[in-house]
Amino acid sequence: MIKRIKKKAIIKNNINEDTVLTENLSNDENNEVEKGYYLVTGIFKRKPYFEKGMAKLKKMGLDPKWFKNPKDTYLYVYLDRYDTLDEAKGMLYSDYRGKYDGDLYILKIQ
């Protein structure tokens, strides 16, 4: 538990607009992904792994969502989308209100 708290403190001090992973899809005419900050649980290239990942999250009582990145055709699974980085960081630090203890990261779509 102490290791996890230290890890969160390190992460908390390093997440800002300059360090968050960003994907620029605004110039892609095939883009249907809404701009914002996504709390991502995983990225999948193969459909069977994607389906297994979605099923695992649903079994945990979560309502995962997904989108296909038009640039690389990977399937991005996320828990929610937020308008601001602060909202996304709050949910990241709270482990999605204590509902998810797996790896999470913030992806900014612009």
Q: What is the pLDDT of residues 80-96, one digit of tens each?
A: 999 999 999 999 989 89
For range 56-82, the mean pLDDT: 94
The parent domain of residue 28 ranges over: 2-109
pLDDT at 33: 86
pTM for the complete prediction? 0.81
Measured distance CA(77)–CA(105) in Å, rounded:
11
Q: Is 18 a residue whose pLDDT tops 60?
A: yes
How many domains does the structure of the chain reveal?
1
pLDDT at 21: 79
Find all residues with CB under 8 Å of 58, minimum gap 6, and list them: 64
